[in-house]
Amino acid sequence: QTTTAKKILIVYLTRTKNTEAVARMIQKDIGGKLVALELVNPYPADYRAHVAQMVQENQDNFLPPLKTKIDSIGKFDIVFVGFPTWDMKIPPPIKTFLKQYDLSGKTVVPFNTNAGYGVGSGFETVKELCPKSKVLEGYSTKGGIERDGILFVMKDDKERQVNAEVQEWLKKIGLIK
């Protein structure tokens, strides 16, 4: 069975749209259904308030409920999971998604944007939460630095660079030719 015959889902969490831009590049290269994860209770617009809430959620191991519902996850063979680095970890809503949906037997492909400090423990956490999935090598790139007022960066040279890197990565992990 070729990749193109497989059913692909691209799930992502985004606040300032950098991770979403990468999700769209992946879709352009490989197809599939794009789904942005929305929360029942959205995070505060204020960055500091958002950081404080998220740190507390991590401490409490709280899983914020998702407003987004994915119908018949069972029909997908490959599930891309995209997220920004938050506090050098996976964001709590991604933990909700990975715990709520049964991805066993599927291929899971993580991707990430961050402020330049890397994915942190994010890809490792995906592996831990998907013990019965085949988790492929992830892709990570520098996105915005909201702390310094830098929001969306996936344009011009950066957009071209990430486009090329995403294609290389998808070839390397054997999902496109």
Q: Are 119 and 90 in contact (CB under 8 A)?
A: no
H or E element that contains 52:
helix 47-60
| DSSP secondary structure letter of residue 72 | T
Q: Any contact of residue 107 with ligand FMN (CB under 6 A)?
A: no
Instruction: State the helix-helix crossing angle for 92-100 and 122-129, rounded to 10 degrees.
Output: 20
Which residue's beta carbon is nearest to the bound ligand FMN? 143
Query: Which of residues 96 and 113 has its CB atom nearest to ligand FMN in the complex?
Result: 113
**Two tokens at 130?**
């998907």
For residues 73 and 88, give the distance between their C-alpha atoms in angstroms, rounded to a whole number. 28
For residues 34 and 7, give the distance between their C-alpha atoms in angstroms, rounded to a whole number. 12
Q: Minimum distance from CB of 19 to ligand FMN (Å)? A: 3
Query: Which of residues 106 and 138 has its CB atom nearest to ligand FMN in the complex?
Result: 138
Q: Any contact of residue 144 with ligand FMN (CB under 6 A)?
A: yes
Cβ neighbors of 48 (< 8 A, separation 6 or more) are: none
Give the residue carrying structure tokens 């992990």.
173
Stretch 65-94: interaction string toward ligand FMN, x if CB under 6 A:
-------------------xxxxx------
Site for ligand FMN in 12-71 (CB under 6 A): 14-20, 50-51, 54
* Helix, strand, or coil (residue 89): strand
Instruction: State the helix-helix crossing angle for 156-172 and 18-30, rounded to 10 degrees.
Output: 50
Q: Minimum distance from CB of 100 to ligand FMN (Å)? A: 21
Query: Which of residues 36 and 77 has its CB atom nearest to ligand FMN in the complex?
Result: 36
Site for ligand FMN in 109-138 (CB under 6 A): 113-117
Q: Minimum distance from CB of 154 to ligand FMN (Å)? A: 8
| DSSP secondary structure letter of residue 14 | -
Q: Minimum distance from CB of 32 to ligand FMN (Å)? A: 18
- Total interface residues for ligand FMN by CB under 6 A: 24
The binding site for ligand FMN (CB under 6 A) comprises: 14-20, 50-51, 54, 84-88, 113-117, 143-146
